[in-house]
Amino acid sequence: MEIAHFEALLAPDGREVLDAAMESDVSEKGLLATASRLRSRYPAELVGAALGQVRLRARAAAKFGPDAARMYFTPQGLEQSTRASVAAYRAARFAGLSGPVLELCCGIGADLLFRARAGAAGTGVDRDPLTVAVASANLAAFGVSGLAEARVGDALDQDPSGHAAVFADPGRRTGRGRVFDPKAYEPPLDALLDLASRAPAGCVKVAPGIPYEAIPEGASTEWISDGGDVKEAALWLGDLAGGPARRATLLRDGEVHSLTPDPASSVPEVRPWGRYLYEPDGAVIRAHLVGEAAALVDGGLADPRIAYITSDVLKDTPFTSSYEIEEVLPFSVKRLKAALRARGVGTLTLKKRGFAADLDRLRRDLRPSGPSAGTVVLTRVGDSPFALLCAKR
């Protein structure tokens, strides 16, 4: 989309087209008819821009809920934006600062918007004029333009003087996919950390799989999971780095749960399989807090290298998913197939950790059939592969 077409959407005629498109059928089946009808009344470029926004808003509902219907997007901006639950959670940490926040690589302005809604003033910078126009439109749509603004600029040319904090969300995707090397972020992580260190406080959003050696000394690193999916990690710096060096934060059903290191339980015991299997949340694993999670359920590890917890007691904790172990089998396709047939398992969930297997091929080999549902966990103890037949609890 060209910036002129987007700006035309914000004019009265453009808003009229966008409102009409929002009330129309833009599904794959109805899109052509809707486009033809609207083009008979409005310029084709305006209709195309409006329909593009409506379809992006539909996709964005998974990230932003009802707010998506009022927001503006670009395809790349939507892909890289912070989802509402995470942005709102993070905004609360900035809300108590005594000055404005400088945001680098602000994208479509999701974090900028949620900080402003939490009362934290600031400026967002992005080098793409269209992206900045979209961010500005989002601030205006929610009535916070007086508290926050977006402008065009290069992230590394910014001066954080006069700001209470710097927040940065570097690009971690290229045309070839995700970027895992922090030096290949756009801009590179080291350059952003250097710039953020010039402000009293800072936060840099990074990929959950960030190498531990790339984490700067003195930073507090937080891995954030939303609804069971690890979304990101954040490096908190300066005045915002208080607390433990590592933290796993889980956002579930409007609640926030945090797990932090405990030297007394950081090294879990190694023990035989018990009655229950616990699968730690990905944020817990990334934060190296599996031992702390095991302590919460009076459990240990069957293998010290693999993050499956086992225990003889069933305890509810947000940091793990729990399963009852019905049978432990030395792995073989023939043996596992017979066990599933005996239980009448036709709806099969396969999980693995520390186990080299093509799950799609294994499912075809097992050919599950029957009225029951079941879960098979594939893992190892030492060099021995095992299949655990489990029931979700």
> Running along the chain, 393 residues long, what does each successive block of 10 average in pLDDT?
91 94 91 93 93 96 96 94 95 93 97 96 97 98 96 96 96 77 93 96 95 94 94 95 94 94 94 97 97 97 97 96 97 96 96 93 94 96 96 91
pTM of this structure: 0.91
3-state secondary structure of 197: coil
Q: Is the dihedral of CA 313, 315, 320, 321 positive or negative?
A: positive
Closest by CA position to 170, among listed 199, 207, 134: 207
pLDDT reported for residue 180:
83
In the 8-state DSSP scheme, what is residue 40?
T
The structure tokens listed for 267 are 């090294």
Phi-psi region of 162 (alpha: psi -120 to 50; beta: other; left: phi over 0): left
How much is the pLDDT for 175? 66
- List the structure tokens of 36: 């033809």
- Count of CB atoms situated within 10 Å of the CB of 144: 21
Give me the helices (H) in 170-272, please. 189-196
Which helix (H) or strand (E) element contains residue 229? strand 229-238
> What percent helix, strand, coil does the chain show, rounded to 5?
35, 25, 35
Strands 255-259 and 246-252: antiparallel
Q: Which CATH superfamily is domain 78-258 in?
A: Vaccinia Virus protein VP39 (3.40.50.150)
Secondary structure letter of residue 118 according to DSSP = T
Ramachandran quadrant class, 54 (left: phi over 0; alpha: psi -120 to 50; beta: rest): alpha
